[in-house]
């Protein structure tokens, strides 16, 4: 049975999946090409700007809602609430830094820094999440996906291969599943303890 906070986290992750898929279906060429770009390409084009915006607005809303309903009793729930709020902030910064990144170099660099923070935050946060839920085989799979995504991101960063969107997608999927499961586990444990 889902808990209140895990329901909101789940809604946030479903929101991401639905609107990323909508962006891909509207214009797959932005990211699915030989010299692959990142998901932010969808935020600067009229055709995909609205679903791109809804991707992050929904994720931020539901993640913050989860952080607000999470019962904070012990250390793990306090850390999880901080993690949820940090994740929401990073998603918000990704969204607002997207709109101007094609205007000039400083804005492009700012968006690149925010993107780099996001690419590092998810795998690092996943280590903490994984330690909380590592007793399930699927969690090992999602944590492994995080590591694969991180390797792809590093390879893209150093321009070995151009797979930014693939790295972003793999990291987001692994992180999303771990976040949902860990939120449920921690919230359930806190409810039992109280």
C-alpha span between 48 and 123 (Å, rounded):
27
User: What are the tokens at 10?
Assistant: 């789940």
Q: What are phi and psi of 176, to 5 degrees?
A: -60, -45
Domains held by the chain: number: 1
Of residues 37 and 5, more confidence is placed in 5
Tens-digit pLDDT profile for residues 77-126 = 999 999 999 999 999 999 999 998 888 999 999 999 999 999 899 999 99
Instruction: Give the residue numbers spanning the domain of 27.
Output: 4-193
Which pLDDT tens digit goes with each residue over 128-173? Answer: 999 988 777 789 999 999 999 999 999 999 989 989 999 999 999 9
Q: What is the pTM of this model?
A: 0.94
């Amino acid at each position: 049975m889902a808990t209140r906070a895990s329901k909101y986290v789940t809604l946030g992750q479903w929101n991401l999946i639905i609107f990323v898929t909508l962006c891909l279906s509207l214009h797959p060429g932005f990211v699915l090409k030989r010299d692959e770009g990142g998901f932010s390409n969808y935020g600067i084009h009229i055709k995909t700007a609205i679903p791109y915006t809804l991707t992050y607005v929904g994720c931020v809303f539901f993640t913050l809602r989860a952080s607000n309903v999470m019962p904070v009793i012990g250390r793990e729930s306090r850390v999880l609430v901080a993690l949820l709020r940090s994740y929401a902030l990073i998603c918000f910064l990704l969204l607002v830094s997207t709109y101007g990144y094609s205007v000039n170099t400083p804005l492009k660099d700012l968006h690149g820094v925010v993107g780099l923070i996001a690419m590092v935050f998810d795998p690092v946060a996943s280590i903490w999440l994984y330690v909380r839920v590592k007793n399930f085989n699927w969690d090992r799979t999602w944590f492994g996906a995080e590591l694969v995504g991180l390797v792809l991101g590093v390879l893209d960063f150093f321009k070995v291969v151009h797979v930014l969107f693939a790295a972003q997608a793999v990291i987001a999927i692994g992180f999303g599943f771990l976040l949902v499961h860990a939120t449920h586990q921690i919230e359930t444990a806190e409810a039992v303890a109280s």
